[in-house]
């Protein structure tokens, strides 16, 4: 009688990512093509982009890629509220086991260059709250300036000692068990105060994975991101005291400095409470050996124009102000009539 192999293959959990994006034309195609080699599907909400981000997303959808696109015409970037909405939508539409809240400059990768991140997913328990540490990539003079695929262009990372932030990963079991919201920046989830100890007990850091992070890719991209992002953050009525503080600092730097050190800005991006910053960089290209369908096709439409994006954003702000003023006048007229 032939002996059967007792080893049972572990099924890969169904996975998806959720994202709110704005003015990411230089990067959005790289983001989608790479991450679809890792997750099964993506839900992406375009937050009123004034560049070709939405156009590129629709071209990718037309190729048959497993993405769901939503359009959000509001100006303010209330990320927590919108990401929580997408989290719930992902459960309704796709019923994934694992959900990755990702910014458009983030790519799921592994410490081991021989592995596809999906191989790590098989090891995850689905009743935990997971966290993956950033691995921030830094633009340098050695970059291949004409390479449109971002992970091929930017190949150096900063010291791991500068990585204070992780990104949360949410499992379906946790969503079903607890009422939760995705915190600002996708770094955590928020549960009721009475559940804090239970949340801490379910916390697990996935040391085998990293979130490859490309926050600074070019001067035009950085200007567009910071100018529009900080102005829109300022208009939030419930803005926290320190919310967007690094954007504020970069806004003032870009506004006042004539010579901009992109490498220095990227190295210190989202780094706080340091007397000195370790500026040592390491050559560590993102592993793309397992990837298919990563050829960039829409590069001509992916140029960032900071002035165009700022002007378009100002138009939206003016229209929103005018509408608010009209609503106020109508309200006052109504009150006068009632009197």
Which domains does the chain show, CATH number per domain? 15-217+276-305 (3.90.550)
The pLDDT, as a whole number, for residue 337 is 44
**Least confident range of 128-132, 208-212, 325-329:** 325-329
pLDDT band at 332 (very low <50, low <70, confident <90, very high): confident
- Taking only the tens place, the pLDDT of each residue in 29-52 is 999 999 999 999 999 999 999 889
Which of the 8 DSSP states describes residue 74?
A: -
The pLDDT, as a whole number, for residue 5 is 47
Q: Is residue 212 classed as helix, strand or coil in its secondary structure? A: strand
CA 307, 310, 316, 322 torsion-angle sign:
negative
Separation between Cα atoms, residue 107 and residue 221, nearest integer Å: 18
Strand partners of residue 168: 131
- Taking only the tens place, the pLDDT of each residue in 133-142 is 999 999 999 9
Whether 167 contacts 186, CB under 8 Å: yes
User: Do the strands 166-171 and 98-101 form a parallel or antiparallel pair, or are they unpaired?
Assistant: antiparallel
pLDDT top residue among 176 and 62: 62
- Taking only the tens place, the pLDDT of each residue in 250-295 is 888 888 877 889 999 999 998 987 878 889 999 999 999 999 999 9
């Amino acid at each position: 009688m032939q002996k059967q192999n007792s080893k049972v293959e572990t099924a890969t959990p169904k996975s998806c990512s959720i994202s709110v994006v704005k003015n990411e034309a230089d990067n959005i195609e790289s983001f989608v093509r790479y991450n679809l080699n890792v997750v099964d599907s993506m839900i992406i909400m375009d937050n009123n982009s004034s560049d070709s981000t939405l156009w590129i997303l629709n071209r990718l959808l037309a190729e048959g890629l497993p993405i769901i696109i939503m359009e959000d015409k509001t100006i303010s970037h209330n990320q927590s509220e919108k990401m929580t909405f997408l989290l719930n939508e992902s459960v309704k539409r796709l019923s994934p086991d694992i959900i990755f809240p990702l910014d458009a400059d983030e790519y799921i990768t592994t410490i081991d260059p021989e592995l596809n991140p999906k191989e790590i997913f098989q090891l995850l328990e689905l009743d935990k709250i997971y966290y993956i540490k950033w691995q921030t990539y830094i633009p340098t003079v050695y970059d291949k300036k004409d390479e449109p695929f971002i992970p091929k262009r930017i190949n150096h990372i900063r010291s791991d000692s500068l990585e204070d932030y992780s990104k949360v990963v949410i499992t379906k079991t946790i969503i079903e068990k607890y009422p939760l919201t995705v915190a600002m920046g996708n770094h955590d989830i928020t549960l009721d105060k009475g559940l804090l100890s239970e949340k801490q007990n379910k916390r697990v850091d996935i040391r085998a994975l990293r979130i490859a992070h490309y926050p600074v890719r070019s001067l035009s991209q950085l200007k567009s991101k910071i100018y529009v992002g900080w102005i829109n953050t300022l208009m939030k009525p419930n803005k926290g005291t320190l919310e967007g503080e690094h954007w504020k600092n970069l806004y003032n730097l870009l506004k006042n400095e004539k010579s901009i050190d992109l490498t220095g800005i990227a190295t210190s991006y989202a780094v706080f409470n340091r007397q000195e910053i370790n500026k040592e960089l390491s050559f560590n290209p993102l592993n793309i050996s397992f990837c298919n369908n990563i050829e960039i096709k829409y590069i001509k439409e992916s140029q960032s124009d900071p002035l165009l994006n700022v002007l378009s954003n100002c138009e939206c702000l003016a229209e929103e102000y005018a509408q608010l003023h009209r609503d106020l006048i109508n309200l006052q007229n109504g009150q006068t009539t009632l009197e």
